[in-house]
Amino acid sequence: PFNTLLSFSELFDYSVTDSIFYMTFSNSLGGISSFVFSSQLGKKWNKLSLLRVVAWVVMLVTVFVFGFAIGRPSQTWGMPVLVFGSFLAGFFNSSFQSLSFSLAAETSPEAIQSCSAGTGFAGVSTNVACCLLNLILPPRDTRGKILPEVLERQVYGFSLFALIVYAFFFSAMDLYSPKRQVARSEASVDSTMRGAKKILIRSMDINLGIFMNYLTTANICGFWIYKSFRVFYRPGSLPLALYFFLFNFGDAVAKTMPVRVLPSTSSQAHALNFLKILANFYFFLIGSQAMREHIFGAFNRLLIVFLVGLSNGYLTNAYMVLNAKRFDSPAMKGDAGFFNVFFLLVGLTTGSFISLLL
Residue, of 67 and 201, whose pLDDT is higher: 201
- Can you tell me the distance from the alpha carbon of 349 to that of 86, in angstroms, rounded to the nearest whole number? 13
By three-state DSSP, how is residue 146 classified?
strand
The pLDDT value given to residue 291 = 47
Stretch 258-265: mean pLDDT, rounded? 89
Q: Structure pTM? A: 0.71
Amino acid at 196: A
The pLDDT value given to residue 227 = 62
Report which listed range, 31-40, 107-116, 302-311, is most confident.
302-311
Please answer whether residues 100 and 115 qualify as being in contact, where contact means their C-beta atoms are separated by less than 8 angstroms. yes
- Can you tell me the distance from the alpha carbon of 163 to that of 289, in angstroms, rounded to the nearest whole number? 46
The pLDDT value given to residue 206 = 94
Element (H, E) at 159: helix 148-176
> Radius of gyration over alpha carbons of the chain, in Å?
20
Listed range (11-20, 271-280, 307-316) with the worst mean pLDDT: 11-20
Stretch 73-99: mean pLDDT, rounded? 79
What separation in angstroms does the CA of 133 have from each of 96, 103, 117, 136, 158? 27, 35, 24, 5, 8
Stretch 85-108: mean pLDDT, rounded? 81
Stretch 219-231: mean pLDDT, rounded? 64
Whether the pLDDT of residue 183 is over 70: the answer is no
- 107-152: pLDDT as tens digits: 788 788 788 888 777 778 877 887 788 788 887 777 767 777 887 8
| HSE, side-chain direction, 13 A CA sphere, residue 172 | 8
Whether the pLDDT of residue 40 is over 80: the answer is no
